[in-house]
Every structure is written in structure tokens, then in C-alpha cells.
A = this chain, B = another copy of it.
Amino acid sequence: MSNAKPLPVIPCCPPLTERPFTAEEAETGARMFKALGDPVRLRLFSAVASHEGGEACVCDISDVGVSQPTVSHHLKKLKEAGLLTSERRGTWVYYRVEPSVLAAMGSLLGPPAPR
């Protein structure tokens, strides 16, 4: 049985070159960008995204030059913004990048390549 929880989804946005964003699209997109608009959060996000297996526990990624409580604070912010998901397994909480975030970033750049 899976421990996976329902994932938050970031349905943002049309390609930047397609048309001006609506107010709602801009709200959603800006929330995502704002969450990544802090150097420590962006480092943590890239550390999770690039970690082996696509997930990382705090123990793997706290080498970002700030205290452990600050790391936890920023991980919580990234979760609240829907950019990371987390799952407790035993002693540790494991973080993953919410896949729709990368999909949302990709969609900003243009329509998906034909398959």
C-alpha cells in the first residue's frame, strides 16, 4: 500500500509568448516564482530536485549555510507553496519536487513538443 498523499497541483500558466496572463494565472504563477525568489529556498529546491532518486531528507540537503531551523522553515514554505511534497518514513521526512511545478515551468516556455 502506498503512503503517497494527494499532491497539490500548480496549474500555471499559458506560454509567456502566447497571450497576456489573466489575473488568476498571474496570481498562481507569481506564487510559484515568489517561493523560488529566495536564494536559500532555491538552493534547497535544487538540492531536492537533483538528489538521487528525486527525493531527499533534511539530512541530505542542509549544507546551505544556514541553521537547521532556517532550513526547516524554508522547506515548510516550499511545501506550503505546493513546490515540494513530503513524506515521513521512520525518523526522517523525505522531500520531493511536485512534478507539476516542473511542468508549469516548461509550459511557460511554449507548447509541449509533439509526441
A residues lining the B interface (CB < 8 Å): 13, 16-21, 23, 26-27, 29-31, 33-43, 45-47, 49-50, 54, 61, 64-65, 97, 102, 105-106, 108-109
Q: Which of B34, B40, B50, B109 contacts A26 (CB 8 A)?
A: B40
Q: Which of B29, B46, B54, B106 contacts A21 (CB 8 A)?
A: B46
Distance (Å) between the CB of A100 and the closest chain B CB?
13
Q: What's the Cα separation between A38 and B27 when bound, in Å?
A: 8
Q: What's the Cα separation between A13 and B49 when bound, in Å?
A: 13
Q: What's the Cα separation between A47 and B40 when bound, in Å?
A: 30
Contacts of A19 in B (CB 8 A): 46, 50
The verdict on A42 contacting B46 (CB below 8 Å), with A102-B16, A109-B106 known, is no
Q: What's the Cα separation between A102 and B33 when bound, in Å?
A: 14
